[in-house]
Structure 1
Amino acid sequence: MSGAGQEVGLLELPEPSSPGPGQILVAVEAAGVGPWDELLNGGSWDVGLRPPAALGVEGAGKVLAAGANVSGFAAGDRVLAHEAPLPGGSGFWAERVLINADHAAACPPGLDAVRAAALPVNGLTAVQALEKLDLARGQRLLVTNGGGATGALAIQLAAAQGIEVTATASAGAAERLLGLGAVEVVDYHDPNWPAKAGGGFDAALIIASGTADAALPLVRDRGRLCSLTSDAPAEERGITSWDLYVEPNAAQLARLAEQAAAGTLKLAPQPLPLSEGPAAFARVVTGGAGGKKIVLTQG
């Protein structure tokens, strides 16, 4: 399924080449869809797509073949991965994908392909943001768009560390997010949501576009602000402010997969057949997925 600046549609693609040194060829069972796929399609996030090509930088499946110098995986192993750049020039929205073995994590027996494919980009983004924010137990974190896939994972991971999370989300998501560990949920539809959220936060994690400037005054002096929407405001009052972009990390992904398999990290993706990929892409990039993580499945 291809785009690269064009309308996304179904097409026949050539088979990937055999895996080279350090690479594995994966039979894709499920692949995640995210708003970042629009960046791939428009070319503003260069992950090495060579059209005609499949989109998708995350997924899960079984190893078909391993190249030279690959010791961690063999044919038949189940894996999940976030890969960028894509060494084969094509992504996970296809039957097969070529990836770097050192970016893949073993998929635990208790983790099905749909949930595994929902995890890599959103999970790694949440982990890497929280590591950079470096909060301690009892500190307070504001998360904007806590109801989305990344926000829900960030809430769970932060709460497990004893961090007190206030999240902005729709009123309909409040009960779910409180169940995931948030201590308070503020309705972002309320124009006075910053006042309702209060202040004195040790850090803010910006996941909703356009909320960074409103969140900054709610962070205490010498606090931290991490934006996932490329709009980190200028630093003031000693607040450290930066934009974060996810990177592949097999060790982090392996830990996330184990937590998801054990049920300590909850995922609720919506599976759709690959044939519905174009419609799923349109829903996600226009904000029509309602916070649901969409995963494309083979078959």
Structure 2
Amino acid sequence: MTGYAVVTRELPQGSLNLELRSLNNRYLDIQFRLPDELRMLEGSMRELLVARLNRGKIECRVNFLSSVSTENLQHINSDLLHKLLKLNQVVRATLPDAGSLDVADVLRWPGMLGSAALPVADLSGPCMELLGTGLDELAAARAREGEKLKLILLERLARIRRLAAEAVPRIPVLITAFQEKLKARLCEAMISCDDDRIRQELTLFASKIDVDEELSRLQTHLDEVERVLSKGGAIGKRLDFLMQELNREANTIGSKSVDAEVSKMCVELKVLIEQMREQVQNLE
């Protein structure tokens, strides 16, 4: 399921920002975008995500913006500063017209403020708490989307039930039409219209086109889909299995069809089931 959450916490050391993105995916796929200094938290963060989520392609991004204050000036990376000074002298000696680095350029140089700009020990606790808050917001966003998907699935279920109801009365009509056609062919062929012979042929024909059992199983699966939807929770995999069962019954009904209208209804039935299956892939 798709979803998005962003949470921020202001700390004495700076601003900690955590962003969660969720895209549709059949399985759980977690990707992290963390500062190198916070890589040590990836294992704990992954455990929390796995405990709370079942499906989706999840991207977790953490950023830390340190506070700009005079206290940070004492943490300038002296080694890097001297190396940068020597490189500046070499470049100026080779290219006299080249501009020299100013103070702002030096302070913005990657790593110039040293590790003190990212106090890992002080950030680990707030980072995990922020992840929990972000997951709560993400769950709420996915729940809202789930309610919309539920309405879509229930609408498809209602249409499938109407199609199945239309197919039921056509079976006796087909048997009657076959009986009349059989009698006419026997008479045209100057063969005695023996009632036993006709009954045997009708019984054989009826057994071939009888879809009562498939329609009954179809209704049972539809009832189960509604029950699972009303139950809520992590239902995606259960519904995925039920979509397979619905499709199996639809295929069997289609293979037994000897009527153009029933065949047409089966095609529409399979289209609706496929639409439901695609939506189910998005559910937790």
- TM-score (ref. length: structure 2): 0.25
- Greater per-residue helix proportion: 2
Largest Rg, 1 or 2: 2
Q: Give the strand-richer structure, 1 or 2.
A: 1
Length-normalised TM-score, structure 1: 0.24
